[in-house]
């Protein structure tokens, strides 16, 4: 039983690692997470610029 469980876990780990490296995989890969983080950072910058612009126009 233990050997069967070990082999099953080894195969599952192999397939999960392979899917994680693929851009088409359902699991989020490190590359896609970094791309999302960069996009969120850009959106935050845009929102802050819009908020500053809005507050500057309200002061006039």
Q: How many CB atoms lie within 10 A of CB 10?
A: 9
pLDDT at 40: 97
pLDDT at 32: 77
pLDDT at 19: 64
- The residue length of the chain stands at 60
Q: How many CB atoms lie within 10 A of CB 58?
A: 7
Note whether 22 and 29 are within 8 A (CB). Answer: yes
Task: Walk along the chain (60 residues) and give the pLDDT tens digit of each residue.
Answer: 899 999 999 998 888 776 666 666 556 667 778 889 999 999 999 999 999 998 888 765
Note whether 19 and 26 are within 8 A (CB). Answer: yes
pLDDT at 55: 87
């Amino acid at each position: 039983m233990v050997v069967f469980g070990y082999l099953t876990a080894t195969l599952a780990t192999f397939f999960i690692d392979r899917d994680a490296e693929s851009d088409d995989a359902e699991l989020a890969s490190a590359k896609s997470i970094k791309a999302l983080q960069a996009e969120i950072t850009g959106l935050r910058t845009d929102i802050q610029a819009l908020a500053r612009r809005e507050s500057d126009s309200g002061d006039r």
